[in-house]
Amino acid sequence: MFEVAVRRSFTSFHHLFGGDWGAENQHHSHDYLLEVVCQGAQVDQHQYLFDISVLEKHLEAFIDTVRGKSLNELPGFEGKNPSIELFARVAAERLKPALATQKSLSGFKVVIWEHAQAWASFHQSL
């Protein structure tokens, strides 16, 4: 199985609710790192699984929808705790239509780091 990945950093805001998570209950920012890892069994005649410049465009397009914004107010997060688990799933759902057109891919995962020691991921089959 081959994998190819790209990652980008950005800042977004959120607050948690429904429990006592201390400072996380207050509106605050995180400097997130989002990685998309694409998987597939075969490369093409150029020895590529997927052109990373195309993958970068899809990732940037998604990040543009969340960069500098409050996750609590965005589609997919309304009325839900904007955990990094949910964030990874929302990102995967938004990226899936673009990645599903790539016949070489069997799946992908989104990994989101809230900081250097904490991350969550969501795996998506294609």
- Per residue in 95-106, pLDDT (tens digit) is 999 999 999 999
Spatial strand order in the sheet of 107-115 = 2-14, 28-40, 107-115, 118-125
CB 47 within 8 A of CB 115: no
> Whole-angstrom Cα distance, residue 61 to residue 39?
20
Give pLDDT tens digits for 27-66.
999 999 999 999 999 999 999 999 999 999 999 999 999 9
Number of structural domains the chain divides into: 1
Query: What is the model's pTM?
Result: 0.94
Domain that holds residue 82: 2-125
Pick the closest to residue 45 from 107, 100, 104 (CA basis): 104
Share of the chain above pLDDT 70, in %: 100
